[in-house]
Structure 1
Amino acid sequence: MKKELLIAVSLISLSLISCGKSESGNKGSIKLETSETSVVDNNGKIDTLTSGSSTSIVDGKKTETKSSIYKAIDGTLVKVVFTEASHESTLAITSNKKTFTLPKIKSDATETIYQKDNMKATIKGDSLILDQDNNIIQLVKTKI
């Protein structure tokens, strides 16, 4: 009885160990340079925010993604992801588990503007100014 139980446990253990996840992934996609940062929010909870950049090549099309953490005057942290692709450039703003994605409409040497419906984001250097229905929120890039 003990031998049968020992054999059964051994077989189950071997089958669980041998069923590991393959890390090879999609061979048509390349991802480089990412980093992860833990930040404590105002409530003392740990937020895991990703900052850095990555480049992906899928079906011969290159997509560059850069993410940064911005801070509002009241101390609220916001994750901002800039995506540059051959067909589209977007800005994704994530705060309080909500994400707003805005397409780029204008870019020059001093500022870049993203806009969708009533929400507009203006990037000037390390500043991001959000304007939604005349409610203006100023954010500054953090050095995390």
Structure 2
Amino acid sequence: MKKGLVIAISAVALSLISCKKNESGNKNVLKAEDSTAVLADNGKIDSTINYNIDVNGKKSIKTDYVYKATDGTLVKVVFNYKENTVSIRSNNKTFILNKVESKGNETTYEKMDMKATVKKDSLILDQGNNIIELAKTKI
């Protein structure tokens, strides 16, 4: 009987003393801001930026895309967010444009007489009198 009483008291004591694991974590710890987020000129997160997420949930910025012109021509576009440039490659020619403005939902790049406006899944090139509309492909 004494052994049973000692075991019962020990079990009750352990259950009262043991820690309960909380899956939500410590609520007093502030979460760090997402360091991969690219901000627009107005300080808000730039919605024209897309991200890759690997199987472990790690987020990285997607920088290269293939766009398709209305005539079917494929154009490779690479965004360099550190240097604030975009390079557009088509027909073995590469144009590198500098970022001029970012409103959060629209980003504008320019160099000399060439202007590129990125909005959602479209890129509009304006070079003098020529306007070329490009749409993101799923390649």
Bin for the TM-score computed over the shorter chain: 0.5 to 0.7
- For residues 68 and 97 of structure 2, what CA distance do their matches in structure 1 show? 19
Deviations 1:98-129 (A, max 9, x none): 00000000001220000000000000000000
Deviations 1:19-72 (A, max 9, x none): xxxxxxxxxxxxxxxxxxxxxxxxxxxxxxxxx97xxxxxxxxxx671000000
Do structure 1's residue 81 and structure 2's residue 83 form an aligned pair? Answer: no
The answer for unaligned runs of 5 or more in structure 2 is 1-50, 53-60
Q: Which residue is equivalent to 1:142?
A: 137
In the superposition, the TM-score normalised over structure 1's length comes to: 0.53
Q: Which runs of 4+ in 1 moved over 2 A?
A: none
In the superposition, the TM-score normalised over structure 2's length comes to: 0.55
Call closer, same or farther: CA 1:104–1:113 in 2, change over 3 Å: same
Q: Percent identity?
A: 59
Q: Which has the higher strand share?
A: 1
Do structure 1's residue 95 and structure 2's residue 76 form an aligned pair? Answer: no
- For residues 140 and 65 of structure 1, what CA distance do their matches in structure 2 show? 16
Larger relative contact order (C-alpha < 8 A, sep ≥ 6)?
2
Q: CA deviation at 1:78?
A: 0.1
Q: Which residue is equivalent to 2:30?
A: none
The answer for unaligned runs of 5 or more in structure 1 is 1-51, 54-63
Q: CA deviation at 1:134?
A: 2.1
Do structure 1's residue 70 and structure 2's residue 67 form an aligned pair? Answer: yes
Taking the TM superposition and a 5 Å limit, the aligned residue runs for 1:1-144 are: 66-85=63-82, 88-144=83-139
Deviations 1:68-89 (A, max 9, x none): 000001100000000011xx21
**Which one has the largest radius of gyration?**
2
- For residues 76 and 135 of structure 1, what CA distance do their matches in structure 2 show? 15
Number of aligned positions between the proteins: 81
